[in-house]
C-alpha cells in the first residue's frame, strides 16, 4: 500500500484555501490550533493508485482480472471513464466504461457492457437513480475485484465504492 505523507506548515500569515481546508478538516481537528505555533503538522493519508480501465483485464483469449487489478483489490484507486447511459437506470450507482456508450438492456441485460466496465457505487444514493453525466468522469474509492451479485441481481467483476466525500466530477 502506498502512503502519502503531507506536511503543512501553518504560520500567522498562512491561509488555507477552501478546498485545502476541507481536505485537512477531514484528516484532523488540529486546524483550530494556535496559528502562531509554527511547528509542522504531519498527516498521513492513503494515496489513490491511478488505474486505466484497460489495465483491469489480462490480455488474451480468457477474460480474467489482471495481476494489477488483483493486487489492488481492497485498495484505494483513481479511475477515469464514461458513465454508461442505461435504458433502465441503476439504483445507487452506474457503470464506468472506457468510451461513451448507450445500452438497451432488453434481451441482453447488461451483456453489452464492455468486460472492463466497473460498477461504481455512489454513497448516499442507495435506492436512488444517479443522474447520467456526459463526458469523461473521474472517481476515487475502494476497488473490489471478483464476481459478485448485488440485491438487484446485477453481477459485476469490478466495483468501485466511491469515497464518502467524493462528488461526480468531469475529468479535465
Hey, which CATH number is domain 49-170, 2.60.120.20, 2.60.40.10, 3.30.420.40, 2.40.50.140?
2.40.50.140
% residues pLDDT > 70 (the chain): 64
Position with higher pLDDT, 168 vs 90: 90
pTM metric for this prediction? 0.70
Domain ranges for the chain, please list them. Answer: 3-46, 49-170
Under a CB-based contact definition with an 8 Å cutoff, are residues 51 and 72 in contact? yes
Residue 171, all three cell numbers: 475529468
- The torsion of the CA quartet 56, 145, 168, 122, rounded to 10 degrees, works out to 160
55: helix, strand or coil = helix
Under a CB-based contact definition with an 8 Å cutoff, are residues 32 and 77 in contact? no
Distance of CA 47 to the CA centre of its chain: 12
Distances (CA, A) of 30 to 17, 42, 47: 16, 10, 21
Report how far residue 158's alpha carbon sits from residue 66's, in angstroms, rounded to the nearest whole number: 11
Q: Give the per-residue pLDDT at 165.
A: 67
Per-residue pLDDT tens for 74-109? 999 999 999 999 888 888 999 999 999 887 655 555
Q: Give the per-residue pLDDT at 119.
A: 94
Residue 78, all three cell numbers: 483513481
Angle at 13 between CA 10 and CA 15, to 5 degrees: 65
Q: Environment class of residue 12 by beta-carbon count within 10 Å: exposed (0-12), middle (13-18) or buried (19+)?
A: exposed
β-partners of residue 57 are 65
Under a CB-based contact definition with an 8 Å cutoff, are residues 37 and 13 in contact? no
Per-residue pLDDT tens for 52-75? 999 999 988 888 999 999 999 999
Amino acid at each position: 500500500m502506498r502512503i502519502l505523507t503531507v506536511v503543512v506548515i501553518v504560520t500567522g500569515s498562512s491561509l488555507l484555501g477552501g478546498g485545502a481546508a476541507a481536505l485537512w478538516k477531514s484528516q484532523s481537528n488540529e486546524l483550530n490550533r494556535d496559528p502562531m505555533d509554527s511547528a509542522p503538522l504531519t498527516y498521513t493519508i492513503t494515496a489513490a493508485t491511478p488505474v486505466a480501465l484497460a489495465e483491469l483485464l489480462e490480455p488474451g483469449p480468457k477474460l480474467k482480472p489482471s495481476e494489477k487489478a488483483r493486487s489492488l483489490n481492497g485498495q484505494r484507486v483513481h479511475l477515469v471513464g464514461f458513465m454508461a447511459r442505461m435504458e433502465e437506470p441503476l439504483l445507487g450507482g452506474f457503470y464506468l466504461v472506457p468510451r461513451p456508450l448507450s445500452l438497451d438492456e432488453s434481451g441482453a441485460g447488461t451483456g453489452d457492457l464492455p468486460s472492463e466496465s466497473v460498477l461504481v457505487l455512489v454513497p448516499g444514493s442507495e435506492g436512488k437513480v444517479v443522474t447520467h453525466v456526459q463526458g469523461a468522469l473521474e472517481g476515487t474509492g475502494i476497488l473490489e475485484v471478483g464476481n459478485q451479485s448485488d440485491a438487484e441481481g446485477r453481477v459485476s467483476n469490478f466495483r468501485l465504492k466511491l469515497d464518502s466525500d467524493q462528488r461526480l466530477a468531469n475529468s479535465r
